[in-house]
Amino acid sequence: MAAAVGLTFATFAPAAMSEVAVRFHRIDGFTAPGTPAALNKVGVLEIGRKSARNVLVLNPGTSASAAYFAPLAKTVVSKAKGWQVWAVERRENQLEDHSILDRAKAGMATSQELFDYYLGWLSNPDITTHFQFIADSDVAFAREWGMRVEIEDLRRVVQAAKRRGGRVVVGGHSLGGSITTAYATWDFDGEPGARGLSGLVFIDGGSSPTPVSPEQATESLQKVQSGSPWLSFGGIPAPFAGLFNAAGSTGALIDPDAPSIGQAWPLLPAILKPSIRVTNLAQYGYALDTETSPPSLIAAQAHLGHLAASGDPRGWDQAGEITPIQRYAEMFSGTGLKGLDGTAWYHPQRLRGIFEYAPSAPRSEGRGSWTPQRSSPTSRTSRRRT
């Protein structure tokens, strides 16, 4: 874990990435009470010319990471000359194990090896080298990673952007919009966060007009202290939403036309499985398209298309929908980026809990849940390979 902190990560260089400059590094963040010093870091995914003085700082939404802004950011900097986009990589993502994911994205591991390392081992005891869970007791300090920690980390990023001497705009998607509002109105020693900014950007997000009462805030904090530090996304306990999305999106990109590995896996919920045999790409689309994805995953859905009309296995047909599935998969896989993907495998419950009372806040939880039979997120104490 410590080896990943403070380093500037290299990027792979496929053609799609070589056209726009992309850099990633971590800077010192807020000193959160009880947090190991190595984790008091916040990451910045910088997209655009390094010489550009103006910076748009973007905050991800619930259970999302900096990499999912990469396709959008490349479009922004190609049209807005003199601007960079800095996507915030929150501190919790340092806990993720990208060892085999990175190898797969670099063409050094197959889609089967990728799936087996992160998920396949749960049903196959012959797989002995695999992902390791982190016990909640080992990261109890993450229960303190709420809005104050988030805003103070963001403050360090904004200050670094301001030192470039150009204009700075802060924005975010979904929960990132709420974080943007919080930053703009935060009291930094008598000065609001909005002072010195050139604007705010809200992408399907923002704060609710209904304030959270002290009683609701207290109840929410009590839930955080008595439960897991991490949010269950769509009823899926951490880190499984991240494992599903990382393995699914990357498999869909590196081996799109092969029969779906996930569909054949006995532990994949039946609601996510098509009734006919499909490809890796089609399985990924089926799980996240608005027409076939379950209601609990609404926060991750997109208008992607539908299964192809023929073929064995069936492929995917965009069918005039607005989101190309390859772009969506690249967004979540973190194509071209080492150590990064588009999902936050561990999203702090405290950073989400205060918004559960806000009717217009983006909700990530839904009906139903999924827990593997062999293991649970609290059954291991290390994330390292065995």
Q: What are phi and psi of 117, to 5 degrees?
A: -65, -40
The vertex-239 CA angle with 22 and 31, nearest 5°, equals 65
Q: Is the pLDDT higher at 287 or at 377?
A: 287
Question: What CA–CA distance (Å, rounded) separates 343 from 177?
Answer: 17
Q: Where are the domains of the chain?
A: 1-95+144-226
pLDDT-based confidence at 206, cuts 50/70/90? low
87 forms beta bridges with 45, 58
Mean pLDDT on 243-262:
99
Asked if pLDDT for residue 220 goes beyond 60, the answer is yes
Cis peptide bond prior to 239, omega within 30° of 0: yes
Please state, for a pLDDT cut of 90, what percent of the chain lies above it. 80
Q: Which of the residue ranges 125-129, 161-165, 357-361 would you say has the lowest mean pLDDT?
A: 357-361
Tens of pLDDT, residue by residue over 181-200, are 999 999 999 999 999 999 99
CB of 47 closer than 8 Å to CB of 20: yes
284 forms beta bridges with none
Three-state secondary structure call for residue 84: strand
- pTM for this one? 0.87
Mean pLDDT on 52-60:
98
Cα atoms in the 13 Å half-sphere on the side-chain side of 37: 0
pLDDT-based confidence at 212, cuts 50/70/90? confident
- In the chain, the amino acid numbered 138 is D
Residues 6+ apart with CB under 8 A from 239: 96, 133, 134, 230, 345, 346, 377
CATH topology for the 1-95+144-226 domain: Rossmann fold (3.40.50)
Tens of pLDDT, residue by residue over 293-302, are 999 999 999 9
Q: H helices within 170-229, ranges in order?
A: 175-185, 214-226
The pairing of beta strand 54-59 with beta strand 168-173: parallel
From the centroid of its chain, how far is CA 342?
Answer: 4
Enclosing H/E stretch for 376: none
Dump strand ranges (E) for the chain.
22-28, 41-47, 54-59, 83-89, 168-173, 187-188, 191-192, 199-203, 306-307, 316-317
